[in-house]
Amino acid sequence: ASQGSESSRSSALQNAKTAVHGDLEKLRGYHDLAKDALERAYRRDMEGSRAEAMKLYRMGLSIIYEGLLITVQATGLGNAFNNVAAWRADMNKWQKNVLERIRELELASPTASGVRAPQNIVSQQSLPRSPRPQSRPAQPQSRGLGPGGAAAPAAGSTPASKEEERLRDVIEGEVLDRRPSVRWKDIAGLAGAKQALQEMVILPAQRADLFQGLRAPARGLLLYGPPGNGKTLLAKALASEARATFFNISASSLTSKWHGEAEKLVRMLFKLAAEMQPAIIFIDEIDSILSERSAGEHEASRRLKTQFLVEFDGVANGAERIVVIGATNRPQELDDAVRRRLVKRIYIPMPDPDTRRALLKHLLSGQPAKLSRADVERLVAATHNYSGSDLAALCREAAIIPIRELGPAVSSVPADKIRPMDAGDFETALQSIRPSVSPDQLARFAKWTAQYGTTS
């Protein structure tokens, strides 16, 4: 009787946990990106553009490192589980090979020709190494000139200092975002914000000819609002919708790991953005990097801020097509000078009833749920002051209840015998998942908006 119970159990869990899917996609994304970078590296390597190749190998490597850190909840994923294993195995193999190749290239003097021919790390299966460069060119890829299409500066450009090279690597590896990402349609509601981003960022990047003079777009933009309502999501969607190079800065890439040289990184960042324009520089949690200056503040972070302001003024007054976008849920803590430069400030509010309905629909699509239209309406009404991420948590909680009530029997119940979640589950879930944003906080946002927000 237990035959097949393993697989039915796993599909039950798979249905119950939407979170699994997200991580899976992310892992696949990193896998594919690493592959892409390594294939490009191989081509450069074959052509003998060693510096370029090196950069791409390093980039591939950092993508792999990050990719291998992604955890996929692997409790009985069935088919998906095998994919996960295969992607991880690929990345592990590539990592080993890339490290080896990087070492080879590093050991060889820049002019020496005694380096072994490169191997295509992606397609190679521990083949015996050929002594001479193969003349067969790598498969050309049908790849649009999307973000990063022009990542490397032309070969033969002025030899950059070692320091500069290193900073470039950091930015290309950690900051330049080529992730296949969220699309507009994945974001519920927020029509106003989408419209504003369309006008300020997407169209100007596509039609620079139209957006000049009086129509010149704002160069600085702030997305602010209570946590969990899609600020980061919007920026990610922007990265895939705008045909612009997308630099994604987080507090960690600038401060903790690179503190002391963060300001150099900022300089290099704007320089690269100018080389790869049109470009978007997105700074998430901008308050933590560019907060109000205080007396006891660290010297390094003061320098970072100053450098940022200098670079930003260069952008605001220059002809480069660069937009700086910040996101924060603590706009009050933003440095005055920074706030002034982010001239358009768009409030990302708590979801209104229509948005909540759309979000619930999105979250429940494809899930076994028995909810009447009236149930959904009651739920929409009951979730006043729930943020987008609160709603997601609510649905996850409701989804797990039918599984939880099975107790130990869960291991032998066929997937189709698990009852769909119903209105009662949501009633229960509403008790444990409470709104995470207080009315107090909302009042503070309203006040800030009245004082500094852009209304248009």
Q: Which of 206, 389, 412, 428 binds ligand ATP (CB under 6 A)?
A: 389
Q: Which is nearer to ligand ATP, 118 or 230 (CB)?
A: 230
**CB closer to ligand ATP, 19 vs 443:** 19
**Interacting positions 301-330 with ligand ATP (CB under 6 A):** 329
| 349 is an interface residue for ligand ATP by CB under 6 A | no
229 contributes a contact to ligand ATP by CB under 6 A:
yes
10 versus 229: smaller Cβ distance to ligand ATP: 229
**Choice from 232, 245, 248, 253 touching Mg ion (CB under 5 A):** 232
Closest residue by Cα to residue 273 from 105, 131, 130, 150:
150
Residue 229 binding: pick among ligand ATP, Mg ion, none (C-beta 5-8 Å cut-off by kind): ligand ATP
- Between the CA atoms of 67, 71, 73 and 79, what dihedral angle is there, to the nearest 10 degrees? 20
Choices 122-130, 142-150, 221-229, 432-440; region in contact with ligand ATP by CB under 6 A: 221-229
Q: Is 189 in the site for ligand ATP (CB under 6 A)?
A: yes
The dihedral sign for the CA sequence 427, 428, 430, 431: positive
Contact 38, 186 (CB under 8 A): no
Among 60, 67, 204, 228, binds ligand ATP (CB under 6 A): 228
x/- mask, ligand ATP, residues 357-386, rule CB under 6 A, reads: --x---------------------------
How large is the C-alpha radius of gyration of the chain? 25
Binding mask 147-186 for ligand ATP (x = CB under 6 A): ----------------------------------------
Q: Return the residues of window 35-94 that contact ligand ATP according to CB under 6 A.
A: none
Site residues, ligand ATP (CB under 6 A)? 187-190, 227-233, 329, 348, 359, 388-389, 392
Binding site for Mg ion (CB under 5 A): 231-232
